[in-house]
Amino acid sequence: MKPTILSRIAAGDADAVEDCLRKYGGLVWSLARRFSADHADAEDAVQEIFVDIWRSAGRFDPERSAENTYITMIARRRLIDRRRRRDRRLQPGALPDDSLTPAAARSNHYELVDEVQQAQDAMQRLRPEERQVLDLAINHGLTQTEIAATIQMPLGTVKTHARRGLARLREMLNVAPAEQTDASGRRYVFRGWSNGGPATQQIVPTDEQVETGIKWTANYEILGRLTLETSPSGLPVTVDGAECRTPCVYDRANGSQLRIAAPASLPVNEGTRLDFAGWGDGAGAERAWTFDGTARTLTARYETRHRLI
């Protein structure tokens, strides 16, 4: 049986590294762009992914999975970790990756299978010099200055090839980011193109479309947002069994639920405590909240009680 690219990398075959970049570079870029906030973030993610691939090559078992499936798994794991870190920096109530239903997870899997061939074809259609520059950046994490020194090419030319190569990839692949954020911080998740295709599609216009143009609409669904506050501010509440010190912000898909509980009493000092007096909308201390696409704020009100000695 012919050795796989990953097994050759694990065995120290230097040519296998270039083969891996040539075959899977487009796939990795496509995935990174879907999960990343911007192009620069995607480029950083691609470099991290290929480092993970080199380190994990020896653990690949061709009898258990296909090579492109294994690489996709490594890429998605790294991208999910990066998104979780980014979300934690942005707000305490980030959308969990396990919020997808089984049906949605299966749909994502089938979309990724389609993207594999599309991204690979796109990468192969780059000019050799563009592919070489991108390969060095992805494989070795080289800066543009280091690439120029390595291949003895003027720095300005390296920058041009990198810019044009990335631009050509974006032109060949019609990519809708999996998630976007508007100017107010509200988050949106991709639900499908108007033509019914997956998030990443290769654009091959007909003769008629060349003349008339192509118009596709990416459909997004806004996530519901719930902000929990207390009066006085900064008090803790419990959300799905975990404590959160207010204010807490949660973005969730429509129909998702949270279980919320406000403590009945909170000690302040030896002679003073805060007693729960109700939520601003009149609900009791324990409640369930169902997201419906709107942005709402709930405030747990507390009253001060003093003990007479």
Tens of pLDDT, residues 213-251: 667 788 899 999 999 999 999 999 999 999 999 999 999
More confident residue, 139 or 204: 204
Residues 6+ apart with CB under 8 A from 19: 5, 8
Beta bridge partners of 275: 265, 303
Tens of pLDDT, residue by residue over 31-58, are 888 788 788 888 888 888 888 888 888 8
Residue 255 binned pLDDT confidence (cut-offs 50, 70, 90): very high
Interatomic CA distance for residues 170 and 275, integer angstroms: 57
Q: Is residue 7 within 8 Å of residue 101, measured between CB atoms? A: no
The pLDDT value recorded for residue 235 is: 95
User: Which one, of 112, 125, 122, lies nearest residue 79 by Cα?
Assistant: 112
Give me 276's structure tokens: 């729960």
Interatomic CA distance for residues 42 and 75, integer angstroms: 12
CA angle 217, 220, 223 (to 5 degrees): 170
Residue 148 binned pLDDT confidence (cut-offs 50, 70, 90): confident
Phi/psi at 117 (5° precision): -65, -40
**pTM of this structure:** 0.46
Residues in the chain: 309
Q: Is residue 166 within 8 Å of residue 172, measured between CB atoms? A: no
Residue with tokens 């809708």: 176
Query: With 0-12 CB in 10 A as exposed, 13-18 as middle and 19+ as buried, what is 133?
Result: buried
Report domain extents, the chain: 5-175, 223-306
User: Which one, of 107, 128, 134, 104, lies nearest residue 26 by Cα?
Assistant: 134
